[in-house]
């Protein structure tokens, strides 16, 4: 089953000074060093302190763990050579967007010209998870259904409570910043693959966009790959957070396909319904209260996620992701389960010392990734995940 529901993962990392935790614009030098090892699997983003890793197409979560651990370890080594460190979080707690230079590339020049300060202020960092599905109409049906659980998945990833050196009161402030872009946010129900293609072609033909990759919904049918791409996430705090979320995305897609095949498909709710829960996830994370529109009840986000885990449980072993789904179950029992919760706890424990928060982010990013004595060659060619 896992081979059918292939995985692809894209991670947007911050590059920071290893001593102070402040953002640094050294991406060109790190990219240059990384090209012999990664090729086109690393690239810059709009603002220079961002470096993105793009995985191969992976058959299962075991392969994902191997590739992501190895890549993160090597990227960290390359950054260390420049006195830098990687950070995995949705925002930078102490940074100001107007201090960050734009990447010198025609695409980003074009985006800045089009979006002005909306584009210049996009100092945010996200995780994207692709799940392959080989039937286009089935893909659209599942796309419509998974939208129900996007707020739940956002709550799990929430990791951006700070913005402009302030505690915002939200667990995912990144979602607020990203919402300013056109063709972003929660998508409406799509009637068919043909309707999606027609929408993309109309925008291209009228000169609004040049390709379907500029449709930036919280989840989208990918215009070039036959995948459902989950885009709603903050960059989570640890690699185990990331892999747990990816495993849950894959299991949810697989379970919905199973239910649809059995004639037991889940309903697809309109955007306005789901936006109610998205706001709650942005504001409160795992401490939110969820509106269950199918069961006409209210329940805690943690209980709603436990029900989601129960829903997908019978496909997890076949997908080979029991370890990562169990990790999510343990996370739900932790009052400081998400990156946002951990950041806020450190901020309060330290009396509001933002540098302590930065140190936490650096430490969490490499937690459980690779042993310190692993060589570059071992990292690149090991057949097993580093889980030291």
Average pLDDT (248-253) is 98
Kindly tell me if the per-residue pLDDT of 281 is higher than 50: yes
Q: pLDDT confidence of 47, banded at 50, 70, 90? A: confident
Q: Helix, strand or coil for residue 203? A: helix
Average pLDDT (303-329) is 98
Kindly tell me if the per-residue pLDDT of 375 is higher than 70: no
Kindly tell me if the per-residue pLDDT of 90 is higher than 60: yes
pLDDT of amino acid 388: 27
pLDDT of amino acid 269: 97
Residue 88 sits at φ, ψ, to 5 deg, of -110, 100
Kindly tell me if the per-residue pLDDT of 385 is higher than 50: no
Kindly tell me if the per-residue pLDDT of 79 is higher than 90: yes
List the CATH code of the domain at 7-375: 3.30.590.20
215/3: higher pLDDT? 215
Kindly tell me if the per-residue pLDDT of 105 is higher than 90: no
Strand ranges in the chain using DSSP code E only, listed in sequence order: 7-17, 42-44, 50-54, 84-87, 126-132, 162-163, 166-167, 184-185, 216-217, 219-221, 227-234, 289-292, 297-300
pLDDT of amino acid 1: 62
pLDDT of amino acid 370: 67
pLDDT of amino acid 61: 98
Average pLDDT (102-109) is 86
> 149, 129, 132: which is closest to 308 by C-alpha?
149
CA dihedral sign of residues 224, 228, 232, 235: negative
Average pLDDT (193-209) is 96
Provide the b/e sequence for 80-106 (b: ≥16 CB within 10 Å).
eebebbbbbbbbbbbbebeebebbeee
Residue-wise pLDDT for 139-185, tens only, equals: 999 999 999 999 999 999 999 999 999 999 999 999 999 999 999 99
Average pLDDT (63-89) is 96
Average pLDDT (90-94) is 95
Average pLDDT (209-220) is 94
CB 157 within 8 A of CB 268: no
Kindly tell me if the per-residue pLDDT of 347 is higher than 50: yes
Pairing of strands 162-163, 289-292: unpaired
Average pLDDT (58-87) is 96
Average pLDDT (264-286) is 97
Average pLDDT, the chain: 92
pLDDT of amino acid 386: 30
d(CA 156, CA 184): 20
Q: Parse the chain into domains and list their residue ranges.
A: 7-375
Pairing of strands 166-167, 184-185: unpaired
Q: What percent of the chain has pLDDT over 70?
A: 94
pLDDT of amino acid 323: 98
pLDDT of amino acid 130: 98
Kindly tell me if the per-residue pLDDT of 43 is higher than 60: yes
Instruction: Write the CB contacts of 276 (distance below 8 Å, at least 6 apart in sequence).
Output: 291
The alpha carbon of 242 is separated from its chain's Cα centroid by a whole number of angstroms, namely: 7
């Amino acid at each position: 089953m896992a081979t059918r529901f292939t995985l692809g993962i894209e991670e947007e990392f911050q590059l920071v000074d290893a001593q102070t935790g402040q953002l640094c614009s050294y991406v060109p030098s790190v990219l240059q060093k990384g090209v012999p090892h990664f090729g086109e699997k690393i690239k810059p983003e709009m603002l220079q302190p961002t470096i993105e890793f793009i995985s191969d197409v992976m058959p299962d979560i075991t392969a994902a763990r191997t590739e992501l651990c190895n890549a993160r370890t090597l990227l960290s080594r390359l950054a260390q050579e420049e006195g830098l460190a990687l950070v995995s979080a949705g925002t930078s707690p102490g940074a100001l967007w107007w201090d960050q230079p734009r990447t010198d590339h025609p695409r980003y020049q074009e985006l800045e010209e089009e979006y002005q300060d909306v584009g210049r202020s996009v100092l945010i960092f996200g995780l994207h998870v692709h799940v392959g599905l080989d039937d286009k109409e089935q893909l659209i049906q599942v796309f419509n259904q998974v939208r129900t659980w996007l707020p739940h998945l956002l709550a799990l990833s929430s990791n951006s409570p700070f913005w402009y050196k302030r505690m915002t009161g939200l667990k995912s402030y990144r979602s607020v910043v990203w919402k300013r872009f056109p063709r972003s946010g929660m998508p409406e129900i799509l009637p068919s693959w043909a309707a999606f293609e027609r929408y993309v072609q109309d925008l291209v033909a009228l000169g609004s966009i040049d390709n379907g990759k500029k449709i930036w919904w919280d989840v989208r049918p990918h215009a070039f790959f036959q995948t459902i791409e989950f885009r709603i996430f903050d960059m989570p705090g640890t690699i185990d957070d990331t892999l747990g979320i990816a495993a849950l995305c894959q299991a949810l897609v697989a379970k919905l396909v199973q239910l649809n095949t059995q004639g037991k498909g889940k309903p697809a709710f309109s955007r306005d319904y789901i936006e109610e829960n998205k706001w709650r996830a942005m504001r409160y994370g795992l401490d939110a209260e969820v509106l269950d529109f199918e069961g006409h009840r209210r329940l805690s986000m943690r209980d709603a996620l436990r029900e989601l885990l129960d829903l997908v449980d019978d496909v997890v072993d076949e997908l080979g992701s029991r370890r990562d789904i169990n990790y999510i179950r343990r996370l739900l029992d932790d009052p400081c389960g998400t990156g946002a919760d951990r950041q806020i706890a450190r901020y309060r424990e330290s009396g509001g010392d933002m540098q302590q928060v930065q140190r936490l982010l650096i430490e969490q990013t490499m937690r459980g990734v690779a042993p310190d004595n692993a060589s570059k060659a071992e990292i690149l060619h090991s057949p097993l995940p580093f889980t030291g």
